[in-house]
A and B are shown apart, each in its own frame.
Chain A
Amino acid sequence: MRRPLPLLTLLLALSAGLGVPGCSSLNFVKRRLPPPTQTPEGVVFRFMAPSARIVQLAGNWPENDWLRGQAQTGSFLVGEMKDEDGDGIWTRTQRLAPGRYQYKFVIDRVNWKEDPNNPNRTDDGYGGFNSLIDVR
């Protein structure tokens, strides 16, 4: 328990000395994208990947089933996200019933990544994390 103390001290110093107010001293750090947000149309997922050609939302809800859920949609690209304005931020609005879900983003059908803007996550069993969302 002694080892994280230097790191905690550093963090406290960062937040106390630089973080307030307005983090004007941290201009080299990007502003945060919002985590998934619930809207009347569904849950809006966002992911920044400017070099990607295809980005998919993979999750454990039945229509997706970690990109295996073709039976519901008939779609070859399950969970396809869009970047219509070309700003590198891919979005998808997904209708989800109330419950807790795990998800990841899949870039170019090869790289699987957790949501960096959602700190709620759980162990994925492969050394990494799955992002978590509770839909009400």
Chain B
Amino acid sequence: MTFRARALATLLLLASLSPAAPAATKLEGDYQLMLETRKWDRPFLWDFDSNSFDVFDNIQFRLFSQPAPGIESFLKFEAAYNPTDNNNPAPEFQWREGHLRFRREFGRRGVDAYVFSRQDRFYVDWHLVPWVYGRGDAQGVRVDTWGWNKTYATLIASDRSGEFNPANFPDVPHQPRDSIAAQRIRRTSDAWVLRLRRSFLADDALRTGVTWNRFEGWTGLDSTSGPAPWSSVAAVDLRWRIRGADVSVEYGQSFDRIPRPDSVRAPVVTAFKHPLGFRLDDASVVQAEIRSFKLGTARTGYVNTTPGWWSRGPKYNNALGGPGSDETGFFLNTYYLFPERAMTYTNNLLWYGPRAYGRTRTRELYNELYIEFINGFTGKTAYKRRDIYRPTARGATRETHLDWFNELQVESRLAWLRVQSKVRDIGTPDRKELFVVENSINLSARTKVYNRFAFGNDPSILRKGIFTQLQYRPTGNMEMFLQYGPDYIGGGSMPVDEGNLNGGGDQRDIVKLILKGNF
């Protein structure tokens, strides 16, 4: 029995031991059916039974139980049917995720512990630098405590057993020298995280934190792989609230044994191109921010300014989070709130670039004016200038990109309309004009139609994406979508910046039916 199977069996056993209290146990789930056919990109026109991931249906069950206060079990399992997938089994029944939770509170103190399987429980609070962020499914233990000596603590120990797939190691002719059973245990990565946070002074004006993580990959643990990669990060963060502004400073350093050329060194720290005479560690990251300086009154409106600066060494390496290495930069974000009225002016200045592996510097200047008019109208206009300075033998060349963005939106109880336009690379041969018109109309309390017309005017071709969707919600727990066109062109929160529209995406005849329900 593998470790993963044992963990699953243990979770199921413990969950089944929970005394079933009707008021505290619920079985829920959701169902989704998606049928898609498209005219092109298939062996023949309107081929319905092709190898795609767009025809499937699945049903998920969620068993949630709280047999006693502070004790909780959660199981999710799934049945899926992928009739057109040549690479995976058509019918699949799989264990999705689960956890056991124990929570106790003692007044203002408490403990919250999880034993989890196939869940992403790597969230730890962060402000400026993501020392740890979501790493996908894993199994392990997480313990959070709070209140003791005003300290919050988080400890995570996990193993990513899902990384190993025995199907990747056929018996013949390429069987590794180690047994597959041994690799199943060894060829997975482990992650540990420790986070401590504490407040000081009145009103928690001073907040400090320490984060430590360690990642161990699977290579080096069997006879067929290379040297073991491991990396670790230790970081400290500090926030001090002074007269309504948060002054934040965070510093972290990474440790590993990855060989790098000795010639790569972190440069001398500079302030506005003036060298300060010292270097940071090659494997360190430091970032600072003041959020924010506030000037003005209710009568005149408020100007808020947030300056920030960061420096990342060329040898910094964080396998469980971010950010990237070898970059120095600063930003100055300013916004002005007009008095009483919904008008906001935003100005963002950003300057960044590598210092060790390259010398390219980028400067961005972004201006935006946003206004909400009466009767449901809103408008936004934004202008962005991006200069890239590339070093040459005789100095540097400057490459300029100018973008102008406009948005007009109107909404009532009946309908919503949004028009977005963007002109990219103004004044260059690569100039591109992008337009997206979206609208939705409430045909009835249950039926809605949504349309999106996207146009990309390249120097050589006019591309389009015409998408229409009928949304039908007969009950509060059921939805049906019948749609035509490519839903990916011009999608997302900023349609004119969507990658397919900015790239080479063009109209496709696609018809899709999606049925979703939950119980």
B411 touches A104 (CB 8 A): no
- Residue ID in chain A nearest B519 by CB atoms: A76
Is A62 an interface residue when CB atoms closer than 8 A count as contact? yes
A120 touches B125 (CB 8 A): no
- Residue ID in chain B nearest A10 by CB atoms: B369
Which residues of B sit under 8 angstroms from A100, Cβ to Cβ? 125-127
A119 touches B344 (CB 8 A): yes
A119 touches B378 (CB 8 A): no
A32 touches B492 (CB 8 A): no
Q: What is the CA–CA distance of A25 and B255 in the complex, to the nearest angstrom? A: 60
Is B301 an interface residue when CB atoms closer than 8 A count as contact? yes
A23 touches B369 (CB 8 A): no
- Which residue in B341, B438, B497 is a CB contact (below 8 Å) of A29? B341
B414 touches A23 (CB 8 A): no
Is B246 an interface residue when CB atoms closer than 8 A count as contact? yes
Q: What is the CA–CA distance of A39 and B378 in the complex, to the nearest angstrom? A: 29
- Residue ID in chain B nearest A119 by CB atoms: B335
Q: What is the CA–CA distance of A51 and B181 in the complex, to the nearest angstrom? A: 57
A20 touches B299 (CB 8 A): yes
Is B508 an interface residue when CB atoms closer than 8 A count as contact? no
A32 touches B518 (CB 8 A): no
Q: What is the CA–CA distance of A126 and B497 in the complex, to the nearest angstrom? A: 7
Known: A14-B338, A74-B26. A128 touches B125 (CB 8 A): no
Binds A, one of B1-9, B48-56, B115-123, B228-236: B115-123
A 97-136 binary contact with B (CB < 8 Å = 1; else 0): 1111000100011111110110110001011100000101
Interface residues of B in 406-454 (CB under 8 A from A): 411-416, 438, 440, 442, 448, 450
A112 touches B493 (CB 8 A): yes
Is A50 an interface residue when CB atoms closer than 8 A count as contact? yes
Q: What is the CA–CA distance of A18 and B127 in the complex, to the nearest angstrom? A: 38
Q: What is the CA–CA distance of A26 and B145 in the complex, to the nearest angstrom? A: 51
A11 touches B411 (CB 8 A): no
Residues of A in contact (CB 8 Å), total: 56
A7 CB, min distance to chain B CBs, angstroms:
6
Interface residues of B in 307-350 (CB under 8 A from A): 335-347
B341 touches A11 (CB 8 A): no
Interface secondary structure of A, over-half rule: loop
A 37-54 binary contact with B (CB < 8 Å = 1; else 0): 000000000000111110
Which residues of B sit under 8 angstroms from A114, Cβ to Cβ? 493
Q: What is the CA–CA distance of A99 and B144 in the complex, to the nearest angstrom? A: 15
- Residue ID in chain A nearest B241 by CB atoms: A136
A51 touches B416 (CB 8 A): yes
Which residues of B sit under 8 angstroms from A21, Cβ to Cβ? 299, 339
- Which residue in B62, B126, B416 is a CB contact (below 8 Å) of A74? B62
A53 touches B341 (CB 8 A): no
Q: What is the CA–CA distance of A50 and B295 in the complex, to the nearest angstrom? A: 34
Known: A4-B383, A134-B291. A62 touches B26 (CB 8 A): no
Which residues of A sit under 8 angstroms from B197, Cβ to Cβ? 98
- Which residue in A27, A52, A76 is a CB contact (below 8 Å) of B30? A76
Which residues of B sit under 8 angstroms from A120, Cβ to Cβ? 291-292, 306
A23 touches B127 (CB 8 A): no
- Residue ID in chain A nearest B496 by CB atoms: A127
B473 touches A53 (CB 8 A): yes
B 457-481 binary contact with A (CB < 8 Å = 1; else 0): 0000000000001010100010100
Known: A21-B299, A28-B374, A29-B373. A112 touches B492 (CB 8 A): yes
- Residue ID in chain B nearest A71 by CB atoms: B74
Q: What is the CA–CA distance of A127 and B405 in the complex, to the nearest angstrom? A: 11
Which residues of A sit under 8 angstroms from B498, Cβ to Cβ? 126-127
Known: A22-B340, A23-B340, A76-B30. A50 touches B373 (CB 8 A): no
Q: What is the CA–CA distance of A20 and B246 in the complex, to the nearest angstrom? A: 29
B411 touches A51 (CB 8 A): yes
Is B99 an interface residue when CB atoms closer than 8 A count as contact? yes
Which residues of A sit under 8 angstroms from B413, Cβ to Cβ? 50-51, 88
B341 touches A32 (CB 8 A): yes
B35 CB, min distance to chain A CBs, angstroms:
19
A76 touches B378 (CB 8 A): no
Interface residues of B in 494-519 (CB under 8 A from A): 494, 496-498, 518
Q: What is the CA–CA distance of A45 and B369 in the complex, to the nearest angstrom? A: 23
Known: A51-B416, A88-B413. A111 touches B493 (CB 8 A): yes
Supply 17 A–B pairs (Cβ within 8 Å), ascending by A.
Answer: A4-B367, A19-B301, A19-B341, A22-B339, A23-B341, A28-B374, A29-B374, A30-B373, A32-B340, A51-B413, A51-B414, A51-B416, A71-B97, A71-B119, A98-B207, A112-B493, A134-B127
- Top 5 A-B residue pairs of the complex, sorted by shortest distance between their CB atoms: A127-B497, A99-B125, A128-B494, A76-B518, A112-B493
Interface residues of A (CB under 8 A from B): 1, 3-4, 7, 11, 14-15, 19-23, 26-33, 49-53, 60-62, 65, 70-71, 74, 76, 88, 97-100, 104, 108-114, 116-117, 119-120, 124, 126-128, 134, 136
Known contacts A11-B369, A65-B123, then 7 further A-B pairs from the complex at CB < 8 Å, ordered by chain A residue: A7-B367, A15-B300, A15-B339, A26-B341, A65-B134, A99-B127, A136-B204
